[in-house]
Structures are given as C-alpha cells and as structure tokens.
Amino acid sequence: ALLDEARAQLPASPSAALAVLDRHRARFPNGALTLEADLVRVEALVTAGRTAEARKLAARLTRQHPGGLVDERVRKWLPDSG
C-alpha cells in the first residue's frame, strides 16, 4: 500500500513520494519489496531533480543486482548510467 501511495504521489509531488518511501523504509527495513521501493526512489529522486543522489543509489542497486530488471529500470530514468 505504501509503494502504491508513493507511485501515486510521484508525478505531482516527488518530495511527497520520497516521504512515503521513507515511511516504507522505516516500517519494512528488510522487507520483500525493498528493491522495488529503492527503484521507485531512484525515479522520485530523478523527478525531484536530485540526480546525484539518484545516480548514487542506482550504482549501488546495479552492483547488488547486476543485469535484468534493475539495469533496465535504472537506464529508463538515468539513460547514461550503466
């Protein structure tokens, strides 16, 4: 539910989406959807203009989960990454 809320907030208010993602992280620090939450966070950071933070998180995610979906999603939001 929190990830859906963050996704809904993202287009109009990336800062609100990031606040929801912070709540998700606090509530589920090692939850099954942590990777998905981090990928949504990359999108929110890019949308908020916080590209350096997005790149740092994206680099960590692609190191931890090389190839496949993670790389695809990161390239969608940061085309010159990876």
CA-CA distance, 68 to 5, in Å (whole number)? 26
Confidence (pLDDT) at 80: 82
Chain-centre distance of CA 24, in angstroms? Answer: 12
pLDDT recorded at residue 79:
84
Question: Model confidence over 5-26: pLDDT tens digits?
Answer: 999 999 999 999 999 999 999 9
CA gap 20, 11 in Å, rounded? 14
pLDDT band (50, 70, 90) for residue 82: low
Number of neighbours of residue 46 by Cβ within 10 angstroms: 19
Instruction: Report the predicted TM-score, pTM, of the whole model to 2 decimal places.
Output: 0.93
- Give the residue-averaged pLDDT of 70-76: 91
C-alpha distances out from residue 31 to 23, 38, 41, Å: 12, 11, 15
